[in-house]
Structure 1
Amino acid sequence: MEGECKVQLDSSVETEAGRETTQNVKLSSKLSTALLVIALCLSATAAAVLVFHRHAKEPGPEEDTFVLHHALRQISNVRAAIHLEGKHNSARTDSVEWKNQVDQSHYQGELKLDDNEIVIPHNGLYFVYSQASFKVNCSFGAEDDHDAASRPLVHLSYTVKRWSKSYGNDDAKRSYQTILHSIRTVCQKIRSSDLDEQGKWYSAIYMGAVFDLKREDRLKTVMEKKNLLEVEDEPGKTFFGVFAL
């Protein structure tokens, strides 16, 4: 009887162990299935996000508009500048005629040449510069009555002037103020029998400075009439320019 009881007890213990093992296997299987489902969901979500970003990166109308506006801003930020070459024109009695788009002359950024004057497009600091080169006759002929004590000196004068509404001017009343001016004594008259070949003196006047200019300001140059015929108008000798800082 004792042997039978032992056998039955062992059998009962093995049966309980089997049940626990079966339950553990089922629980483990359910857990593995749940983890697999979660992993698949995460993969699907990651794929969806990737596709969304890929489509989002493709340029659309709004992005094209942004790129266009950015390009226009870059163009508008081009620094304003103008450089003009001077030529003698007998029709003008107070200045050379300024030429654009000849030789090394150029312009950009809305600065422009109008009626032989430079027009300022926007308020700001600008560097204004100009040079006038001259070939001056410093001789007089034998028929001229000059002695050493009365020989006149030869002077050159050159001026840059500004018109501005900030002065209280209006378009109908063009009152200019001098912003750059230079006078130079070149030589004293000497006697010469050959006026075409003797007594020629070469000189240049250069001026430049920074000014706080306003929109629609106008800049012009002024020379004495007697000096206009002596201006050298070869490329690079007589010029007038402005650039924004």
Structure 2
Amino acid sequence: MAVSENTAEVVGLEERSVFVAGQKSSSGLRLQLSAAVLLVALLGIGCTGLLVWYCTRGPDVTTQLGRTEVPTNKVTAERTYSSSTMASVIIREKAAVHLEVEGFSKDDELMWRDSGGDAFAQGGLRLVNNAIVIPESGLYFLYSQAVFGVTCSYDAYVSQKILRYSDSFDAPRTLMFSSKSVCQDTNRQNGEVKVFEPIYLGGVFQLKEGDRLETTFYWTLDVQTDSGKTFFGAFAV
């Protein structure tokens, strides 16, 4: 009987041991599951916050061909575009010059000016030694007008031409020329009648950098120098 009682006590002790071990194993598993759930929750919150930051405050444009674009707002972009556009307009100012009569030289040559009144010069076209100088090769529209005041006591005619001087050739070339008779028989029969006749020249030409343009007149002293009557100019096309 003593053996049986001892055996029963041993068996009871083993059962209690198994029960306690089972309890400890179950508690550890629950702790591990709780930690895993907490870790997943924290990761979810972190990812959500990162996504919200990217959508609200992140860069508009990221890397392109390995280069990071600097984000900018709409107002800054519009101002930058406006500034660059104005700079481009200033840089690309059309080459143009319009000359008016300054007076006559000692040799009775007509002298020009590129400022004052309606005269101006811009975009590289300029007046040098009474000639228009071409700043760069290209197409240019040339024009010139002269109004002649002739007293018709004799048969007379007037003329105007535009000459091109260039390093490409030795002698100057005539680009445009025009002449006309200004005194008809009826004018001469009525005595010394003064007649005003305009001559206008205009055309497009292919010119080279450094070319020089000049005008000549016949008779020069008959050219009217009032504003709007006689002028000379060119502009790039």
- Confirm or deny a common fold (TM above 0.5): yes
Rounded to whole Å, the distance in 1 between the matches of 2:166 and 2:207 is 8
Gaps of 5+ in 2: 1-28, 61-68
Q: Is the 8 A contact 2:105 2:111 kept in 1?
A: no
> After the TM superposition, which residues 47-86 of structure 1 pair with which residues of structure 2 at under 5 Å, given as runs?
47=53, 53=59, 56-57=70-71, 72-86=87-101
Change (3 A) 1:28 1:137: farther
Rounded to whole Å, the distance in 2 between the matches of 1:217 and 1:70 is 31
From 200, 215, 220, give the equivalent of 2:194. 200
Is residue 2:157 matched to residue 1:155?
yes
Change (3 A) 1:159 1:56: same
Rounded to whole Å, the distance in 1 between the matches of 2:138 and 2:52 is 54
Q: What is the CA distance between 1:103 and its match in structure 2?
A: 1.0
Is residue 2:133 matched to residue 1:113?
no
Q: Is the 8 A contact 1:89 1:96 kept in 2?
A: yes
Amino acid at match of 1:223: F
> Any runs of at least 4 consecutive aligned residues in structure 1 with deviations exceeding 4 A, and if so which?
26-33, 48-52, 66-73
Which has the higher mean CA deviation after the structures are superposed, 39-48 or 77-86?
39-48
Q: What is the CA distance between 1:43 and its match in structure 2?
A: 1.9
Partner of 1:238: 230
> After the TM superposition, which residues 1-245 of structure 1 pair with which residues of structure 2 at under 5 Å, given as runs?
34-35=40-41, 37-44=43-50, 46-47=52-53, 53=59, 56-57=70-71, 72-93=87-108, 95-139=109-153, 152-167=154-169, 169=170, 175-188=171-184, 190-191=188-189, 195=192, 199-224=193-218, 227-245=219-237
Partner of 1:148: none
Please give the TM-score of this superposition, normalised by the length of structure 1. Answer: 0.66
Rounded to whole Å, the distance in 2 between the matches of 1:204 and 1:71 is 40
Rounded to whole Å, the distance in 1 between the matches of 2:34 and 2:158 is 107
Amino acid at match of 1:84: L
Q: What is the CA distance between 1:58 and its match in structure 2?
A: 6.2
Partner of 2:26: none
Gaps of 5+ in 1: 1-22, 140-151, 170-174
